[in-house]
Amino acid sequence: MANSKKLRLKDAALKRLLSVVLVTLLGVSLLVVSLRTNTTPGLSGLDEALSETIDVQSFSGRLNLPKLNKLSIRLEKQNQLPPRNRDLYPRLAKDHITIVLYVHNRPQYLRVVVNSLSKVVGISETLLIVSHDGYFEEMNKIVEGIRFCQVKQIFAPYSPHVFTDSFPGVSSDDCKEKDDSGKKHCFGNPDQYGNHRSPKIVSLKHHWWWMMNTVWDSLKETRGHDGHILFIEEDHFIYPNAYRNLQLLVSLKPIKCPHCYASNLAPCDVNARGEGWDSLVAERMGNIGYAFNRTVWRKIHRKAKEFCFFDDYNWDITMWATVYPSFGGPVYTLRGSRTSAVHFGKCGLHQGQGQSNACIDNGSVNIQVDDIDKVANIRSEWDVHVYHDQSGYKAGFKGWGGWGDHRDRQLCLNFAEMYHSYNTSSAVMS
């Protein structure tokens, strides 16, 4: 009797122990699940479509990029969203040429270029990517109103405009203008002319370089694309025949000008409108409506060190003075003899944001578009006229400065590395 009582007591104790163990295990499991679903406070509402995005914060730490703030994180998530208007234009043309429009904060300019794009023949066949230098509500609203093609927006998460009190923006202990860092006890490296960095100025070069690396090597829509991509800016008026002319130039380039690196919609002289000849033109690469393929991008990417260490805040002058000359020969582009795009800007990059200091006469732009500009006006039977030894920025030019701070140069190099393997640093620096 005593033995059976002892056995019953042991069985009861064992059952209680098993119950405690099971409850403990259940509690631990619930805690693990809770931690997994709440590791990023405030971001639980993230769209499921973003579940396969690039882990930006991981390479931020690996490359010592500036720590993302709340706005940067939000912008980076926006960058992963699919294009809009796919319900209106469900399929892109097989041979489409993606268009990238890079913008800053000049809404009056943007309205003009968007209106011109809406009249481009064939625009509904392609994808328009709009790359923003930071976030500005009015600029965003203009792009959200586009209905004439598929459109995707990307926002530079490391733009100086996104960081209000730290690098790449303005820091309280940064040197300004021609400050003596020793006397002022401030931080920063001056350029070759003794001037310290201006965040609003350096953002021009940062944005272009971030955009190029992101479009070619990160975006789902373009990272596997080997063909040409067209790049335009917010102060480029695009003619109705631009897209059809570009398609012709891209198809003719391997035949008519196999040594040409790119195709352009406009002459390299921003004030020119073309010669009006019955011929194609090969000349130095311009910065208005230029298109090139992945092979050319790889050559540019391999020159990241040259690009990032040249003391000039202008991306285009940097390319002309140091990157293109490093290719070992003339860098020609192919274009028509009549322009299909026009630069209409009257003021600098960061002016013209408001009505009071508008850079467009009467808030509009008056560019003559003739009937010949509304249809493709390039002929496959034309020969090519080559311009040799054109004037302009070349190897030997030292730069206009504004790009002497080592932090800007390192951030620039990081942009070249961030979408690549851990071994990219040595490749970029070679």
Annotated binding site for substrate: 133
Residue 368 neighbours by CB under 8 Å, 6+ apart: none
Beta-strand ranges (E) seen in 294-335 are: 332-335
- Contact predicate 404/190, CB 8 Å: yes
Report how far residue 64's alpha carbon sits from residue 48's, in angstroms, rounded to the nearest whole number: 28
Binding residue ranges: 133, 235, 343
State how far the alpha carbon of 82 is from the alpha carbons of 49, 142, 150, 222, in Å.
Answer: 8, 18, 10, 12
Strands 332-335 and 280-284: antiparallel
**What is the Cα gyration radius of the chain?**
27
What is the 3-state composition of the chain as percent helix, strand, coil, each rounded to the nearest 5?
40, 15, 50
Q: Rounded to 5 degrees, what angle do the CA atoms 50, 52, 57 make?
A: 85
Rounded Cα–Cα distance for residues 17 and 113 (Å) = 74
Q: Is 112 helix (H, G, I), strand (E, B) or coil?
A: helix
Q: Residues within the annotated binding site for Mn(2+)?
A: 235, 343
Distance (Å, whole) CA 76 – CA 67: 13
- Which residues lie across from 262 on neighbouring strands? 333
In the structure encoding, which two tokens stand for residue 412, read together?
């620039």
CA 69 from centroid of its chain's CA atoms: 19
Tokens linked to 109: 């300019």
What gap in Å lies between CA 169 and CA 174, rounded to an integer? Answer: 10
Q: For 352, left (φ over 0), alpha (ψ -120 to 50), or beta?
A: left
Locate 2 and state its tokens: 């005593």
